Structure 1
Amino acid sequence: MKLLIFTLTLILFTQPGFSQNHFKRNDIYIETGGNGLFISANYERQLTKEPGLGVRMGIGMYSENTFYLTVPIGINYLFTTNNPKGFIDAGLGTTFARENAKLFWEKKTIQDDHFVSFIPSIGYRRHTTQNMMWRISCTPVINQYGFVPWIGFSVGKRF
């Protein structure tokens, strides 16, 4: 009788463990183009236990005639597709850029050049069986200098 009670208790308490979702909610990745403008390292966290709303933040660089430190932040939403490892990735982001890699909280001088870009995005994201991810996105850049069509490609690790 004790063995039966022990077995039933074990089944009741371990059952939820077998049905847990294995969706990984954290991504760390390198992105070329995209929200970081040239290249950036990013961390992304899904706020739900299933694919859905997520937030991201990174640090990167952009260089035209001078070097800029960039800080991309944003939100995104993963829409499921027929493929359980493929998603439509739609997001809105803002990227802060400051000349000569000066930290954003340092005292500004007359020569400081900085700008803020608004970057909407739409793309395709794929999760692999090795807990890797890749994404390709259309990420047009909108800022004080105008509108620039842009694309981004990301590759990274899920955990």
Structure 2
Amino acid sequence: MRKCTLLLLGMALTCAAQAQSSFSRNFAYVEAGGNGLFGSINYERQFSKKPGFGMRAGLGFYAEYDFYLTVPVAFNYLIPLKNENQFLEAALGLTPTLFKSRPEKNHVNIDVDHFFIPTFGFRKHTRNNFMWRINVGSVVGIQDGAVLPWVGFSYGKRF
């Protein structure tokens, strides 16, 4: 699983480096629910001047019996609606979660769990370069196959 996480982060960095040559369409936002599970801070980059493919990555958390660090990464596609500031958004994400496992002989192990998170939602850009969105989807546990319906709300700024 650690190899999968490293591969995913490598792909994310490669895509971000390739996107540097395209038109700057950047977003920074906070998200409740969504790909970060409970909460996250994210950066998103749209790859072209027109709405279309983009990528987002962030740092988040999840707390159930203990505190888990999450690293949400997703590829998204924006579909423009009649109003040029409103979009439908479809995304496929993978969220590794890092947590401490039980110590063995005074040694703390850090384990990684992965969640696949497909989402679909609505996004609105405001005149002041702010953005909000709401999305629905499912959190799918890769190790155990458990499926949980999920909702996310984001608010941030375009720069």
TM-score category of the 2 structures, normalised to the smaller one: 0.7 to 0.9
Deviations 1:88-137 (A, max 9, x none): 0100000000115xxxxxx973xx44310000010000000010000000
Report the equivalent of 2:36: 36
Aligned CA distance change for structure 1 residues 108 and 46 (closer, same or farther; 3 Å): farther
State the 1:27 CA deviation.
Answer: 0.4
Alpha-carbon distance, 1:83 to partner: 1.0
Structure 1: 4+ residue segments shifted above 6 A: none
Shift of 1:24: 6.3
TM-score (normalizing by structure 2): 0.77
User: Partners of 2:108 and 2:54 in 1: how far apart?
Assistant: 33
Please list, as runs of the form range in 1=range in 2, the aligned pairs for 1:52-131 lying within 5 A after superposition: 52-100=52-100, 109=109, 112-131=110-129
State the TM-score, normalizing by the size of structure 1: 0.77
Larger Rg: 1
Matched with 1:156 is: 156
Q: Provide the secondary structure at the position in 2 that maps to 1:150.
A: strand
Aligned partners of 1:68, 1:137: CA distance in 2, in Å?
22
Q: CA RMSD in A?
A: 1.7
Indicate conservation of the 8 Å contact 1:135/1:155, yes or no.
Answer: yes
Q: Provide the C-alpha distance between the structure 1 equivalents of 2:24 and 2:131, rounded to a whole number of angstroms.
A: 11
Question: Partners in 1 of 2:92 and 2:108 — Cα distance?
Answer: 28
Distance in 2, matches of 1:145 and 1:45, equals 30
Deviations 1:42-70 (A, max 9, x none): 00000011111000000000000100000
Q: Check conservation: 1:29, 1:155, Cα contact below 8 A.
A: yes
1:130 partner amino acid: N
Name the SS for the 1:140 alignment partner. Answer: strand
- Residue matched to 2:49: 49
Number of equivalenced pairs? 129
Structure 1: any 5+ residue segments left out of the alignment?
Answer: 1-22, 101-106
Unaligned runs of 5+ in 2: 1-22, 101-106
